């Protein structure tokens, strides 16, 4: 298969983790007879420096003309003082909207060999943890009407949370489809005791659920869900929720795996198109120091092979190679324990590529 990828290295550690990911993909190509065609494009702070805007039209066009997008990370101190709507992070929101990436899958998987990194008591996560947050990504308060106005209490600002039935329906379908391939459990998270938009959310999710009689649907309020996530995270399998609740819950879920440097994500449009990126940010403090963990981006490439290209065997091979490198005791600084010698970003990529070759 020939795969056309738009590659956005971005800022901070983005270029390093992307470099290692392409190394791994090239090895997959060699072993399984595929070719990857990469077109590198700018987005984020580096695009601001070159073009004066974080998401140039050219980037959007090239992404649209590709089969999938691979992204490192955007943002950094250098651009922290720009006004809100000019910050590098706006490139992410623009890409999501322009590319129609309404479904964000954020798996939180506790790797057995890294179980000690989990901040929860061992008995709470015994037997492992494997859940996925399905976050709505192009609607809700992130994209609702916003503005400034005068009120009785003086100047005020507002952001509107709004969901159309169709927006809820399509994300619910993604969640139920995913549950059918996993343990047939969906937890839908909302704030239906207070918010009108949540009451619509809950009604539509239930409607979609009727088409999946085998799947057990639970509704939770966001406050309770946040609490349950640390009390008993193993109760969760597929969690479906709105843009803002998903933003918060997915960070919480990633923390309990103890290793944000390990977590991949997929943002999917209708059809097979998707953008794949690590959950972590650009970590400007360690940029260029060969300290970043490239595993989250490499695992994101595995998700890309699985979801956009239907290459399950190749995706499995990447995941197995990552596990092997961990099992062999290799750790970047973020996941190394005290006293352990850590390896660098490039070496990690080399080892994973080598493990693919051997498999």
Residues labelled catalytic: 142, 191, 223, 247, 251
Tally Cβ neighbours within 10 Å of residue 84.
Answer: 7
CA of residue 285 relative to chain centroid, distance: 21
Distance CA 325, CA 302 (A): 16
Which residues, including other chains, have CB under 8 Å from residue 32's CB and lie 6 or more apart?
A: 311, 313, 314, 317
| Partner whose binding site includes residue 167, from ligand IPM, Mn ion, none (CB under 5 to 8 Å by kind) | none
| Partner whose binding site includes residue 317, from Mn ion, ligand IPM, none (CB under 5 to 8 Å by kind) | none
Nearer to ligand IPM, 92 or 321 (CB): 92
Which burial class, exposed, middle or buried, applies to 33 when counting CB atoms under 10 A from its CB (0-12, 13-18, 19+)? exposed
Q: How far is the CB of 171 from ligand IPM (least distance, A)?
A: 15
| Partner whose binding site includes residue 130, from ligand IPM, Mn ion, none (CB under 5 to 8 Å by kind) | none
Q: How far is the CB of 132 from ligand IPM (least distance, A)?
A: 15
Distance CA 218, CA 185 (A): 8
Number of helical (H) and strand (E) elements in the chain, helices listed first: 12, 12
Q: Residues interacting with Mn ion, by CB under 5 A?
A: 247
Nearer to ligand IPM, 44 or 344 (CB): 44
Whether the Cβ atoms of residue 159 and residue 144 lie closer than 8 Å to each other: yes
R_g of the chain computed on alpha carbons: 20
Distance CA 297, CA 265 (A): 8
Nearer to ligand IPM, 92 or 103 (CB): 92
Q: Residues interacting with ligand IPM, by CB under 6 A?
A: 89, 92-93, 247
Q: How far is the CB of 8 from Mn ion (least distance, A)?
A: 17
Which residue's CB atom is positioned nearest to ligand IPM?
A: 89
Nearer to ligand IPM, 30 or 146 (CB): 146
Which residue's CB atom is positioned nearest to Mn ion?
A: 247
| Partner whose binding site includes residue 92, from Mn ion, ligand IPM, none (CB under 5 to 8 Å by kind) | ligand IPM
Q: How far is the CB of 128 from ligand IPM (least distance, A)?
A: 24
Angle at 186 between CA 96 and CA 159, to 5 degrees: 40
């Amino acid at each position: 298969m020939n795969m056309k990828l738009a590659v956005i290295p971005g800022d901070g550690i983005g270029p390093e983790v992307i470099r290692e990911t392409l190394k791994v993909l090239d090895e997959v190509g060699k072993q399984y007879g595929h070719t990857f065609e990469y077109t590198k494009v700018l987005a984020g702070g580096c695009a601001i420096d070159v073009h004066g805007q974080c998401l140039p039209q050219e980037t959007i066009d090239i992404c649209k003309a590709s089969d999938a997008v691979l992204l490192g990370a955007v943002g950094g101190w250098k651009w922290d003082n720009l006004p809100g709507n000019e910050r590098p992070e706006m490139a992410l929101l623009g890409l999501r909207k322009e590319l129609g990436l309404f479904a964000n899958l954020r798996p939180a998987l506790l790797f057995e060999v890294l179980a000690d990194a989990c901040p929860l008591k061992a008995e709470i996560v015994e037997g492992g943890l494997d859940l996925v947050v399905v976050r709505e990504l192009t609607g809700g308060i992130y994209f609702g009407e916003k503005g400034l106005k005068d009120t009785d209490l003086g100047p005020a600002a507002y952001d509107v949370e709004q969901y159309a039935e169709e927006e809820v329906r399509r994300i619910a379908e993604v969640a139920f489809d995913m549950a059918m391939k996993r343990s047939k459990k969906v937890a839908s998270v909302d704030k239906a005791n207070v918010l009108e938009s949540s009451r619509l959310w809950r009604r539509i999710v239930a409607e979609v659920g009727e088409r999946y009689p085998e799947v057990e649907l639970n509704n939770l309020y966001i406050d309770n869900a946040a609490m349950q996530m640390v009390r008993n995270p193993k109760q969760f399998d597929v969690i479906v929720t709105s843009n803002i609740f998903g933003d918060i819950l997915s960070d919480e879920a990633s923390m309990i795996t103890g290793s944000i440097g390990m977590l991949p994500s997929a943002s999917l449009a209708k059809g097979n198109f998707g953008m794949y990126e690590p959950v972590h940010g650009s970590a400007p403090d360690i940029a260029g120091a060969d300290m970043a963990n490239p595993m989250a981006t490499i695992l994101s490439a595995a998700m890309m092979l699985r979801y956009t290209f239907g290459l399950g065997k190749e995706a499995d091979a990447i995941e197995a190679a990552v596990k092997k490198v961990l099992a062999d005791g290799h750790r970047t600084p973020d996941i190394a324990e005290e006293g352990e010698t850590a390896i660098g970003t490039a070496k990690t990529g080399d080892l994973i590529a080598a493990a693919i070759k051997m498999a």
